[in-house]
Amino acid sequence: MKPQFGVCKNKVGCSFAYTGEKVPVPPDLKCPECGQPLVIESAKPGGSKIILVIGAVVVLILAGCVLVLSAFKDQILSLVSQKSTASQAVVEAQENKGVSSTSVIQEPEETPANSPNIGLTPVPQAAPSASQTPSLSPTPAPVAVVATQPSSSAEQVAESLTVNPVASPAVQPEQTTPSPAPTVANSEAPSETGAEVQAPATLTKTEIDATREDVLKRINAMPKFTEADKRRLTEKMETAGSMDRLFVTRFDTGQTNLSRTALDELVKRIKSKDFQDKISDPTVVFVVAGYADSAGDPKTNLAISQERADNVTKALKDKTNLLNVIHSVGMGSTDLLDGKRPDQNRAVEIWAVAP
């Protein structure tokens, strides 16, 4: 049983009455402080009223839903009927399409059957059975014709084979004469490579000697190499199959990074055929030599030249995914490239050395 609470109404001599505090009702139903009878509070009917209000609202909502459904009942039924009729129409259309497709398929089947009938002239219905027998008669005729065609071609091949051995001694010198013609025709595409190969062949003394002399100058000018290293490089240079300078780029004073224009030129040069030929050969060794002019501190110029060579080497690897051996060499202060114009010596060269 829930405890009951009461309120004392003796506001003159009772603090409970003065504060309006609710006091648990004792068995004698009197205030424990002043002894006056307590006024027992009855349960407030507010909760039941709220429940009644909520119930009434729910009933009203349900009644409204019923009214809405009854008002739109006809429209809902009409929509359902329209959907059913539309689905029936779709099914009928599909059936009609199936019938039309079967009829279309049957028509071409009749046309080839009628085509031999027209050629055989019998029109009655019994003709199809008879047409099958004559239809077989024309088929062997074309078969015989087809058989004659390969026989004639076989005869021609046999004749050509018989003619070839007879004319073979006379044709052999003729085959040698047309042989340069196809080579000339084929050389139109690789004519550039042919020209590049023939040019150094005619200038072997000048081209190779000049290149070797340039390489010797560079070997002797390498600041970080000992005399023994230079002799070893010179011996390898003497036995090398080829040495080609593939690319040269120049820098401003103090600049070590490739400019956008220089990088574009390097990419364009890498795509050339002679550069691609070097890259495709895994035995080719690439040497990237960096230079600085003779102005300023030699140690600083050596560091600048090495940094230039390293940056070009990095760009070369990034743009080609090169797997060949690459040596990045800083040459320091030099006038090897141009003794009269110092700005021409602020450069980087890419050399390809084939064994």
**Residue 74: per-residue pLDDT:** 80
**Residue 338: per-residue pLDDT:** 74
What integer is the mean pLDDT of 107-127?
44
Query: Any idea which of 118-122, 309-313, 320-324, 333-337 has the lowest mean pLDDT?
Result: 118-122
Ramachandran angles phi, psi of 286, nearest 5°: -100, 135
What letter would DSSP give residue 294? S
- Residue 151 reports pLDDT greater than 60: no
The tokens of 150 are what?
Answer: 């390969």
- Residue 297 reports pLDDT greater than 60: yes
Distance CA 302, CA 187 (A): 47
Domain range spanning residue 311? Answer: 205-354
**Residue 212: per-residue pLDDT:** 67
**Residue 209: per-residue pLDDT:** 65
Q: For residues 276 and 340, is the Cβ–Cβ distance under 8 A?
A: no
Say yes or no: 224 and 335 in one domain. yes
The tokens of 218 are what?
Answer: 């560079």
Burial of residue 352 (CB within 10 Å: 0-12, 13-18, 19+) is: buried
Q: Does residue 182 lie within any of the structural domains?
A: no
Residue 320: pLDDT band by 50, 70, 90 thresholds? confident
Count of domains forming the chain: 3
**Residue 313: per-residue pLDDT:** 93
**Residue 199: per-residue pLDDT:** 34
Q: Which residues are CB-neighbours of 114 under 8 A, at least 6 positions away?
A: none
What letter would DSSP give residue 246? E
Say yes or no: 79 and 39 in one domain. no
Give residue 229's Cα distance to chain centre.
Answer: 48
CATH code, domain carrying 294: 3.30.1330.60
Say yes or no: 223 and 104 in one domain. no
Residues 342, 344, 348: CA angle, nearest 5 degrees? 125
Say yes or no: 349 and 210 in one domain. yes
Say yes or no: 244 and 340 in one domain. yes
Say yes or no: 234 and 343 in one domain. yes
Say yes or no: 344 and 211 in one domain. yes
What integer is the mean pLDDT of 307-320?
92
Say yes or no: 301 and 322 in one domain. yes
Alpha helices in the chain (DSSP H): 15-19, 46-71, 73-120, 127-136, 140-176, 180-186, 191-202, 209-220, 227-239, 260-270, 273-280, 298-320
Q: Does residue 79 lie within any of the structural domains?
A: yes
List, edge to edge, every strand of the sheet that includes 5-7: 23-24, 5-7, 39-40
**Residue 5: per-residue pLDDT:** 82
Q: Which residues are CB-neighbours of 330 under 8 A, at least 6 positions away?
A: 223, 224, 290, 302, 303, 304, 305, 306, 307, 308, 309
Distance CA 202, CA 230 (A): 30
Query: Any idea which of 123-137, 175-189, 324-338 has the lowest mean pLDDT?
Result: 175-189
pLDDT digits over 24-50, tens only? 888 888 888 787 787 887 655 555 678
**Residue 35: per-residue pLDDT:** 79
Q: Which residues are CB-neighbours of 324 under 8 A, at least 6 positions away?
A: 279, 281, 282, 284, 285, 286
Say yes or no: 250 and 280 in one domain. yes
The tokens of 81 are what?
Answer: 């009927």
Q: For residues 103 and 97, is the Cβ–Cβ distance under 8 A?
A: no
Q: For residues 345 and 334, is the Cβ–Cβ distance under 8 A?
A: yes
Q: Does residue 159 lie within any of the structural domains?
A: no
Distance CA 211, CA 243 (A): 7
Which of 66, 86, 111 lies at the terminal end of a domain, its last residue? 111
Q: How far is CA 284 from CA 61, 216, 303, 307, 323, in A?
A: 91, 19, 27, 23, 10
Say yes or no: 266 and 303 in one domain. yes
**Residue 44: per-residue pLDDT:** 53
- Residue 298 reports pLDDT greater than 80: yes
Q: Does residue 286 lie within any of the structural domains?
A: yes
- Residue 168 reports pLDDT greater than 50: no
**Residue 17: per-residue pLDDT:** 76
Residue 308: pLDDT band by 50, 70, 90 thresholds? very high
Q: Does residue 258 lie within any of the structural domains?
A: yes
**Residue 134: per-residue pLDDT:** 43
- Residue 166 reports pLDDT greater than 60: no
- Residue 299 reports pLDDT greater than 70: yes
Burial of residue 249 (CB within 10 Å: 0-12, 13-18, 19+) is: buried
**Residue 1: per-residue pLDDT:** 62
- Residue 81 reports pLDDT greater than 60: yes
